[in-house]
Amino acid sequence: MILTPNELMLFLVACKDAIAEINHIEMIIDDSQLANRISEVHVADNLLLYGVLPDYGGDYRDEEGVMYDNGLDFLILKKTEYTDVSYNEFNDLMQETLMVARKFLTYVYSEKNNPNTCPTFYYLKEGSEKITPVWAKAGCNGYMVSFNLRTEL
């Protein structure tokens, strides 16, 4: 079954419990909601994990029915006061958030191989994983981790 908003929220909670560096989680729908919600977050709340509600697209049809591609994006961010950040501090910030992005993806793989919190992750479309740097998005820096699940409707 496609990943539902309730399952996404349960997964975010499990990530916060499993990854010590994550202090704040939220589910969002797009950049405008992120910008709106981030204004209520303080630098002391770092690191931040935002799960973007997935989009769903038809993938292919097999003997069991139509399969759907669930496009998932997760933002691992650190709210930043730019006036205080030197080049070296920015590098350190990107290093820190990348290491957490790696932990996050490792957690996703563990859910695929031994589904506990989110059985839908069993359907991880291997090879779809991508880690992309994020700069100055709503006053934050870090990485976006993206991947797809291939599920039934």
Answer for the pair 51, 27: CB distance below 8 angstroms, yes or no. Answer: yes
Question: Are the CB atoms for 85 and 141 separated by under 8 Å?
Answer: no
pLDDT at 83: 67
- Look at residue 19 in the predicted model and tell me its pLDDT: 98
Position 107, amino acid: Y
Is a pLDDT exceeding 80 seen at residue 125? yes
pTM for the whole thing? 0.93
Of the listed ranges 7-16, 56-65, 69-78, the one predicted with least confidence: 56-65
Backbone CA torsion sign across 30, 138, 7, 70: positive
* Integer Cα distance of 78 and 24 in angstroms: 10
- The share of the chain scoring above pLDDT 70, in percent, equals 97
Listing DSSP states for 11-78 in one string gives: HHHHHHHH-TT--EEEEESSHHHHHHHHTT--GGG-SEEEEEEEEEEEEEEETTEEEEEEEEEEEEEE
**Angle ∠(4,119,23) on CA atoms, nearest 5:** 70
Q: What is the pLDDT of residues 126-151, one digit of tens each?
A: 999 999 999 999 999 999 999 999 88
